[in-house]
Amino acid sequence: MKLAINGTTRTFDGDPRTTLLDFLRRDCDLTGTKKGCDHGQCGACTVLVNGQRINSCLTLTVMHEDDEITTIEGLGTPQDMHPLQSAFVDHDGYQCGYCTPGQICSAKAMLDEAKAGWPSVVTEDLTAEIDLSGDEIRERMSGNLCRCGAYSNIIDAITDVKEAAR
Amino acid sequence: MRPFDYQRPDGLDHAALLERDGGALIAGGTNLLDLMKLQVETPDTLVDINRIGLDELEPTDDGGIRIGALVSNSVCAADPRIRADWPVLSRAILSGASGQLRNKATTGGNLCQRTRCYYFMNIDMPCNKREPGTGCSALNGRNRIHAVLGANENCIATYPGDMAVAMYALDATVEIAGPDKASRSVKIRDFHRLPGDMPQRDNVLEPGEVITGVTLPAPVGGTQLYRKVRERSSYAFALVSIAAVIRMEEGAISHASLAFGSMAHKPWHDPRIDAALTGAKPSDALFDKVADLLLENAEGYGENDFKIPLARRTVKAVLREATGAST
Ligand code: FES
Ligand code: FES
CATH code at B246?
A: 3.30.390.50
Residue A10 Cβ < 6 Å to ligand 1: no
- A88 and A157 within one domain: yes
How many domains does the structure of chain B reveal? Answer: 2
Q: How far is CA B257 from CA B74, B245, B273, B276, B289, in A?
A: 24, 5, 8, 10, 15
Residue B71 domain-assigned (yes or no): no
If you write DSSP's letter for every residue of A55-122 in order, what string do you get? EGGGSBGGGGTT-EEE-HHHH--SSS--HHHHHHHHHT--SS-SSHHHHHHHHHHHHHHHHTT---TT
Residue B279: pLDDT over 70: yes
pLDDT tens profile B52-76? 999 999 999 999 999 999 999 999 9
Residue A27: pLDDT over 80: yes
Residues of chain B contacting A143 with CB distance shorter than 8 Å: 97-101, 235
The pLDDT > 70 percentage for chain A reads 100
Residue B327: pLDDT over 60: no
Q: What is the ipTM of this complex?
A: 0.98
Which residues are within 8 A (CB) of B223 and not within 5 positions of it... i.e. 6 or more apart?
Answer: B244, B245, B246, B247, B248, B321, B322, B323, B324
- A119 and A60 within one domain: no
A118/B74 Cβ within 8 A: yes
Amino acid type, B293: L
- A91 and A69 within one domain: no
Residue A88 Cβ < 6 Å to ligand 2: no
A127/B100 Cβ within 8 A: no
Residue in B76, B98, B229 to test binding to A, most A beta-carbons within 10 Å: B98
- Between CA B317 and CA B179 the distance in angstroms is 46
Q: What is the mean pLDDT of residues B184-199?
A: 98
Output the CA A135–ligand 2 centroid distance in Å: 20
| pTM check: above 0.95 | yes
Residue A165: pLDDT over 90: no
Calculate Rg over the CA atoms of chain A. Answer: 16
Share the mean pLDDT of chain B.
97
pLDDT of residue B326: 59
Residue B180 domain-assigned (yes or no): no
Residues of chain B contacting A64 with CB distance shorter than 8 Å: none
Measure in Å the smallest separation between the Cα of A156 and chain B Cα atoms: 19
Residue A61: pLDDT over 90: yes
**Residue A131: phi, psi to the nearest 5?**
-115, 110
Cα dihedral A9, A15, A19, A20, rounded to 10, equals: 0
- A68 and A30 within one domain: yes
β-bridge pairing B24-26 and B45-48 = parallel
Which residues are within 8 A (CB) of B227 and not within 5 positions of it... i.e. 6 or more apart?
Answer: B241, B242, B244, B314, B317, B318
**The domain boundary residue, chosen from A75, A91, A123:** A75
Residue B194: pLDDT over 90: yes
A58/B99 Cβ within 8 A: no
Inter-chain Cβ pairs, chain A and chain B, closer than 8 A = 95
Residue B311 domain-assigned (yes or no): yes
Which residues are within 8 A (CB) of B294 and not within 5 positions of it... i.e. 6 or more apart?
Answer: B149, B260, B268, B270, B273, B311, B312, B315
Residue A37 Cβ < 6 Å to ligand 1: yes
Residue B92 domain-assigned (yes or no): no
Q: A98: domain CATH number?
A: 1.10.150.120
Taking the Cβ of residue A15 and every Cβ of chain B, the question of whether any pair is shorter than 8 Å is answered with yes
Residue B165: pLDDT over 70: yes
Q: Are B80 and B117 in contact (CB under 8 A)?
A: no
Measure in Å the smallest separation between the Cα of B194 and chain A Cα atoms: 28
Residue A109: pLDDT over 90: yes
Q: What is the mean pLDDT of residues B273-295?
A: 98
Residue B172: pLDDT over 70: yes
Which domain covers residue B297, as residue numbers?
A: 223-323
Q: What is the mean pLDDT of residues B79-108?
A: 98
**The domain boundary residue, chosen from A75, A94, A109:** A75
- A71 and A6 within one domain: yes
Q: Which ligand has the nearest atom to the CA of B37?
A: 1
Residue B152: pLDDT over 80: yes
pLDDT of residue B325: 80
Cα dihedral B138, B140, B146, B147, rounded to 10, equals: 110
Which domain covers residue A6, as residue numbers?
A: 2-75
Q: Are A67 and A4 in contact (CB under 8 A)?
A: yes
A55/B33 Cβ within 8 A: no
Residue B278 domain-assigned (yes or no): yes
pLDDT tens profile A80-101? 999 999 999 999 999 999 999 9
Taking the Cβ of residue A117 and every Cβ of chain B, the question of whether any pair is shorter than 8 Å is answered with yes
Residue A18 Cβ < 6 Å to ligand 2: no
- A91 and A67 within one domain: no
- Between CA B237 and CA A20 the distance in angstroms is 26
- A92 and A40 within one domain: no
Q: Are A47 and A3 in contact (CB under 8 A)?
A: no
Residue B217 domain-assigned (yes or no): no
Interface of B with A in 65-94 (CB under 8 A): 74, 77-78, 80, 83-84, 87, 90-91, 94
- Between CA A109 and CA A102 the distance in angstroms is 11
Residue A94 Cβ < 6 Å to ligand 2: yes
Q: Are A85 and A76 in contact (CB under 8 A)?
A: yes
Amino acid type, B14: H
Residue B170 domain-assigned (yes or no): no
Taking the Cβ of residue A126 and every Cβ of chain B, the question of whether any pair is shorter than 8 Å is answered with yes
pLDDT of residue B320: 98
A119/B77 Cβ within 8 A: yes
Q: Whose CA is nearest to atom 3 of ligand 1?
A: A40
DSSP H or E segment with residue B36: helix B32-37
Q: Are B260 and B242 in contact (CB under 8 A)?
A: yes
- Beta-ladder partners of B65: B59, B216
A35-40: long-range contacts, CB 8 A cutoff, minimum separation 24: A36/A98, A36/A99, A36/A102, A36/A145, A38/B37, A39/B34, A39/B37, A40/B30, A40/B34, A40/B100, A40/B101
Q: Is A125 exposed, middle or buried (0-12, 13-18, 19+ CB in 10 A)?
A: exposed
Q: B17: domain CATH number?
A: 3.30.43.10
Residue A166: pLDDT over 90: no
How many domains does the structure of chain A reveal? Answer: 2
β-bridge pairing A2-5 and A68-70 = parallel
pLDDT of residue B305: 98
pLDDT tens profile A116-146? 999 999 999 999 999 999 999 999 999 999 9
Q: A53: domain CATH number?
A: 3.10.20.30
Nearest to A43 by CA among A111, A137, A85, A106: A106
Taking the Cβ of residue A93 and every Cβ of chain B, the question of whether any pair is shorter than 8 Å is answered with no
